[in-house]
Amino acid sequence: MDIQNDVLALLLAGGQGSRLKELTKHTAKPAVPYGGKYRIIDFALSNAANSGIPTIAILTQYKPLQLNEHLGIGEPWDYNHAPAGMKILSPYASEEGGRWFTGTANAIYENLDYIDSVNPRYVVILSGDHIYKMDYMAMVKEHVAKGADGTISVIEVPWEDAPRFGIVNIDEGGRIEEFDEKPEQPKNNMASMGIYVFTWKVLREYLIADEKQGESDHDFGKNILPTMLREGRRLFAYRFDGYWKDVGTVRSYWESNLDLLNRKNSLRLLDGDWRIYTNNANLPPHRIGKEAKISEALINEACEIYGDVTKCVLFSGVRIEEGATVINSVLQSNVVVKSGARVENAIVMENITVEGDQVIGDSATVSLVSEDGIRVE
């Protein structure tokens, strides 16, 4: 089934990510550094490239400078080829004036002209703030095979987390009977991943109708999907059982970075068959001193390690001096930990120096260290 040229991916990357606190003070959530050398958006972008989707549009909004610089012309993901490739779509002024995107569905609606110019049969709607590997074309093919109007990718989550997600209730054939957005008492733990495939001509009608509803939140989970279900549209669930993490909070961001150190973690960054690509600086190799002690770590280029490191993710240019101890922590680029300092269960943002007399964090909490000070989660 050769339908690749009929598919357009739309990547929602305009979120502020306020729950990430200082991590998003200067940049959009999808541009937050992750895993030693990547940014969060690299995962959805690389998934699209590895899936063979020829055209992707990235919808930006909140503080997009770093994100736009990172994306460039899409070369690391092989999206720098016309007429397909990568397009960045931002809010713009019209005859009625300028306005921000007001919801996930509204962001797509405001770009109808662009989507119509591409004229896809199917659209894949993606979020730029999740960590996972997924073949989107496999999902599209199942959507087509079932004659679906819409398909939602779902994953089982812990019951205690289910109220934070959109929960889908499905029949034995996988058809969705109910979509419950963040229910207080969920009927099951099958959660929407925020990844959708739609038949474009169907979705287009619903976007236009929704925009006319003044009381609508213009949101897929709250408005578009429930309306489609009420009107009997064919919506199906696509089950995903790999690694997936919504890194929307400081703690989940910290957990997901440290998950990379688990050999049983199915994300497998070293898997050459499904690489995660990024726009990264060409830096010199890292240096390990003869007195250094390292156990379980991801170490990026240009790091210098002379102290003790246990279960850490180190971005480029980190320096840990002899006599310093760092445990269960994520150190962003150009962090310096001076001799005598101890850092545990922490995220230290880029360009921060931890002085020699500082003790940051403990085994019970997660600390976020930024230019504004130390925040304990």
CA geometry: angle 40, 366, 315, nearest 5 deg: 40
Measured CA to CA, the distance from residue 322 to residue 292 in angstroms comes to 7
Q: Is 166 one of the annotated binding-site residues?
A: yes
Select from 134, 2, 11 the least CA-distant residue to 79. 11
Identity of residue 256 = S
Tell me which residue has tokens 């509204």.
106
Measured CA to CA, the distance from residue 221 to residue 368 in angstroms comes to 31
Q: Is 181 one of the annotated binding-site residues?
A: yes
Q: Give the pair of three-digit tokens for residue 46.
A: 């690389």
CA 365 to chain centre: 24
Q: Is 22 one of the annotated binding-site residues?
A: no
Q: Which residues have a Cβ under 8 Å from the Cβ of 110 and sit 6 or more positions away?
A: 91, 101
CA geometry: angle 181, 182, 186, nearest 5 deg: 100
Identity of residue 109 = Y
Measured CA to CA, the distance from residue 150 to residue 122 in angstroms comes to 10
Q: Is 211 one of the annotated binding-site residues?
A: no
Find the length of the chain: 377
Select from 4, 5, 201 the least CA-distant residue to 116. 201
Select from 178, 165, 170 the least CA-distant residue to 230. 178
DSSP label of 222: I
Residue ranges at the known binding site: 166, 181-182, 192
List residues forming the annotated binding site for alpha-D-glucose 1-phosphate.
166, 181-182, 192
